[in-house]
Amino acid sequence: MVRTNPERRQALLDASIEVLAREGARGLTFRAVDKEAAVPAGTASNYFANRDELFVQVGHRYYERLVPSEEAMRKSRGPQTRASLTEVMTEVIARVAGFRTGYLALLELRLEATRRPELQALLTERVRADLDFNIGNYHGTGQPGDEDTVVLLYLALNWLIVERLTLPGVFTEERAGELVRMVVERAIPD
Q: What is the pLDDT of residues 72-126, one digit of tens each?
A: 788 777 788 888 889 888 988 888 989 999 999 999 999 999 999 999 999 999 9
More reliable by pLDDT, 27 or 143: 27
- Crossing angle for the helix pair 51-65 and 117-139, to the nearest 10 degrees: 20
With a pLDDT cut of 70, the percent of the chain lying above it is: 98
The tens digit of pLDDT for each residue in 131-150 reads: 998 898 888 888 888 899 99
Please check the confidence at residue 24 and state whether its pLDDT lies above 80. yes
Q: 188 and 149 in contact (C-beta within 8 Å)?
A: yes
Please check the confidence at residue 3 and state whether its pLDDT lies above 60. no
Mean pLDDT of all residues in the chain?
91
> Who contacts 19 (Cβ-Cβ below 8 Å, separation ≥6)?
27, 28, 32, 33, 36
**What does each C-alpha distance from 113 to 59, 106, 110, 119, 155 come to in angstroms?**
10, 10, 5, 5, 19
For residues 93 and 186, give the distance between their C-alpha atoms in angstroms, rounded to a whole number: 18
Closest listed residue to residue 161, CA positions, set 34, 66, 48: 66
For residues 67 and 53, give the distance between their C-alpha atoms in angstroms, rounded to a whole number: 22
pTM of the model: 0.88
Please check the confidence at residue 181 and state whether its pLDDT lies above 90. yes
Q: 165 and 97 in contact (C-beta within 8 Å)?
A: yes
Cβ atoms < 10 Å from Cβ of 30: 20
- Can you give the pLDDT at residue 75? 77
Please check the confidence at residue 180 and state whether its pLDDT lies above 60. yes
- Can you give the pLDDT at residue 1? 52
